[in-house]
Amino acid sequence: MNKIELQNTKELIDNEFFIFVDFNNVVTKHNLEITKSFSSAAYDQFCMGGDFAKKYLTNEINYLPFIPNVDSNINVISMFNNSIASDYKVEYNFELHRKYFYPDFPSRLSACYAFADYETCRKVSGKYRWDLSTIRKFKLVESPINKIVKVNMEIISLERYANRVSMQNQNSLDEIGKAYWTGIGNIQMELPTVNERKVFNSEIIWEYLIEGRLELIEN
């Protein structure tokens, strides 16, 4: 089996990945049944050619679907406002960090998400109650435009909580972004709780962000 070199950690890994497939999503179910594969959004659009393909090769793609409203007059936001905007703000910050510091890495807003082994899938299932029966095994189709990094998904999970309960300065956001994109494991953050401030550990669950096409090898 061919080995794949990761862009961020430079590790060599087997070309075998496990994905939780959302069979309740009609588009996902249909695509897998028809094509027996999953492709990242950027990979599909690259194959169409045109200006997108040129920008992909020079790492100039703008993946962000929305940008902050610079004309907003609201400085104190409601809890509802914070709740609906919070997760996107997290993705926005991580995408900006990738764009500025690691522009050749796959974007979270385009990539396929996968795990390297079944034991990691068990860990994810135990923590988030994802259904193990939906796991399918894939291999990455070889292509010169493939991109793949290994990242700790729990940094995102911790940052989602942090973004809801605290204010973070740019230095903190840069440190968290660097930890995520370079493949660092556990990080710690001191955050408020109902009764007191507390040090939280992100813990570690490794996942892989993949720009490319993954073919089903096991039903």
Name the DSSP class of 48: T
Q: Give residue 110's identity as a one-letter amino acid code.
A: S
Residue with more model confidence, 195 or 120: 120
The Cα–Cα gap between 166 and 161 comes to: 9
What does the pLDDT read at residue 77? 83
Ramachandran assignment for 163, one of left (phi > 0), alpha (psi -120 to 50 degrees), beta (any other): alpha
What does the pLDDT read at residue 219? 62
Q: Give residue 146's identity as a one-letter amino acid code.
A: N
Greatest Cα-to-Cα distance within the chain, rounded to the nearest angstrom: 56
What does the pLDDT read at residue 81? 87
Q: What angle do CA 156, 21, 110 make, to 5 degrees?
A: 50
Q: Which tokens hold the place of 72?
A: 């907003």
Name the DSSP class of 76: S
First-last CA distance in the chain: 19
Nearest residue to 117 (alpha-carbon basis) of 196, 17, 15, 8: 17
| Cβ 101 vs Cβ 7: under 8 Å | no
| Percent of the residues in the chain that have a pLDDT greater than 70, as a whole number | 99
What average pLDDT does range 44-56 have in this prediction?
A: 95
